[in-house]
């Protein structure tokens, strides 16, 4: 199983709750899930994993680099699988929907701005808070 090898590569022991949570994150339609979202999805699949276990496993996954935690303003933490690809986010303030996007122009401009101030851009996190036009 792919999940087993991913857990071992991350230095984590393969346990049923870890496998189930990793499978849930991998197969979920929603890419950004809170611990509560993961817990509800597991319950709907008749998986017996407690909410405290979900929180603990997601924290372990974050420390191991398997997931990335985002704390968007006005909301609770959400997690997404760390797939290695960089992207930025837009958060719809009315629906809390998280939309991923990439923009080579924005990436280039961020590097240029850092350079103009005498710095090398090491990392960044861009979140745009949006609303549908009326």
- 100-130, pLDDT tens digit by residue? 999 999 999 999 999 999 999 999 999 999 9
Annotated binding site: 86, 88, 107, 124
CA distance 109 to 115: 10
Q: Which of 1-15, 32-46, 106-120 has the lowest mean pLDDT?
A: 1-15
Report residue 113: phi and psi, to 5°: -60, -45
Domain layout of the chain by residue ranges: 1-82, 84-133
Right CATH for 1-82 from 2.60.40.10, 1.10.10.10, 3.90.1150.10, 1.10.1060.10 = 1.10.10.10
Query: Nearest 5°: phi and psi at 76?
Result: -90, 175
Torsion angles phi and psi, residue 13, rounded to 5: -70, 140
Question: Is CATH 3.30.1490.190 what the domain over 84-133 is classified as, yes or no?
Answer: yes
Residue 1 has pLDDT above 60, yes or no: no
Q: Say which residue the tokens 């994150």 belong to.
A: 25
pTM of the predicted model, to two decimals?
A: 0.82
Residue 5 is predicted with a pLDDT of: 86
Annotated binding site for Fe cation: 86, 88, 107, 124
């Amino acid at each position: 199983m792919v999940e087993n090898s991913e857990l071992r590569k991350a230095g984590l022991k393969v346990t049923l709750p870890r496998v189930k949570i990793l499978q849930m994150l991998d197969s979920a339609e929603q890419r950004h899930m809170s611990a509560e979202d993961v817990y509800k999805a597991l319950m709907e699949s008749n998986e017996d994993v407690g909410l405290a276990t979900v929180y603990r496993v997601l924290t372990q996954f974050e420390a191991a680099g398997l997931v990335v935690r985002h704390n968007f303003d006005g909301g609770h933490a959400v997690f997404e699988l760390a797939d290695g690809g960089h992207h930025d986010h837009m958060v719809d303030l009315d629906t809390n929907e998280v939309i991923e996007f990439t923009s080579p122009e924005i990436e280039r401009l961020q590097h240029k701005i850092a350079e103009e101030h005498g710095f090398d851009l090491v990392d960044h996190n861009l979140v745009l808070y949006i609303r549908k036009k009326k």
